[in-house]
Homo-oligomer: A and B are copies of this chain.
């Protein structure tokens, strides 16, 4: 019999894992690569940032998941892919160079700062577990500094939290900060008055949750403003953020805020290709055909947030959501399992949802919209189900029940690995 074809999957996210579960391991050798040794859960990063959940409870080791029956036969290597050489058909990580017959790119997206100077160095972001932990640390540091700050001007800057971007993440972060202002400051920071804390959500377009229904946008706006005392500014675009914490907008307005949480833009994870030049697409995404094959290649596929394909329904590409990635991973695996019965990918939109502070969410199912406490329960159930690992489900549920009854959390920890330089791994 002929030897199996080697498939390399870049990224152990929703897309990569769903592909690995479906692909026929008797037909293919499958190796999954990730720069983290765990699968992470972006929808809940904002709760890590706000101290509502611990990072470990929304992370799941890839090697642990490999023991899942559906994953039997897959291999995992830890490493960050630096270059993809389409001539030699190899990928290179910081540790090794590995040959492939078929490459599946499921590496997702990273922050897009639209070239605004030094922004990356100065702002808090939420595109990875690590970034969420850092954002949590930064927010808590501001509060601790403010608690002992006497200069009114510096105090104001320390206690002003600007969130840029009115998408689901921006709305959820602003809501969580609003909750912190309302429930935590008064109880745990005797030297800070809740009224001193300003949470400002800034969106460039004319409504929040632009990708959702008008009613969801309206609900989110009302709740943030009325229940959570969040200042919302629409139709405002940021121009610069200087080292004194001054945010300047295109219309000339300015805000002084030591903390800026950036959720305003994403761009595809960049790769260095040799022997292939991707065509320009919105958000630097990789253009794929209806079978998720990257245009201009024969053996490279892209799924999830990093891929781009226009069809009649999605004239500007599919939304960058977990659901799309999962469905594309499944379909691609089916197509590779039965090349003769290849079927084009069509996104089956299951709707979208966002949560606004505790006890409240907005849900859009096709034409049907609902909001409030029940929507929040649905939101929790959906997210709990998608979490990997029984232990994680249990811990997250405990945290949520806890927070629901105490509107408090014991996770507001400024926690970092020791700063000693890492013990070098000898390569000689």
Contacts and interface: CB of A to CB of B under 8 A. Distances in A.
Given A54-B56, A128-B418, A410-B64, A425 B141 contact: yes
A109 interface: no
Given A37-B140, A56-B54, A120-B420, A61 B413 contact: yes
Given A54-B57, A77-B148, A258 B426 contact: yes
A140 B392 CA distance: 20
Contacts of A391: 398-399, 402, 409-410
Contacts of A66: 188
Nearest to A129: B415
A338 to B, nearest CB: 28
Given A57-B54, A64-B188, A147-B77, A425 B121 contact: no
Contacts of A137: 417, 422
B36 A414 contact: yes
Contacts of A141: 422, 425
Contact of A410 (B60, B121, B245, B411): B60
A423 B157 contact: no
Contact of A96 (B75, B130, B148): B148
Contacts of A148: 77-79, 95-96
A130 B418 contact: yes
Residue among A64, A140, A158 facing the most chain B CB atoms (10 A cut-off): A64
A215 interface: no
Contact of A55 (B36, B142, B245, B415): B415
A408 B408 CA distance: 30
Contact of A418 (B63, B79, B134, B419): B134
Interface in A377-428: 389-392, 394-395, 398-399, 402, 408-428
Given A66-B188, A415-B56, A420 B121 contact: yes
A117 to B, nearest CB: 15
Given A154-B426, A392-B410, A416-B417, 12 more contacts: A37-B140, A56-B56, A63-B188, A77-B147, A78-B144, A137-B422, A141-B425, A154-B427, A243-B426, A258-B425, A391-B398, A398-B398
Interface of A: 36-38, 54-57, 59-61, 63-64, 66-67, 75, 77-79, 95-96, 120-125, 128-131, 133-134, 137-138, 140-142, 144-145, 147-148, 154, 157-158, 187-190, 243-245, 258-260, 389-392, 394-395, 398-399, 402, 408-428
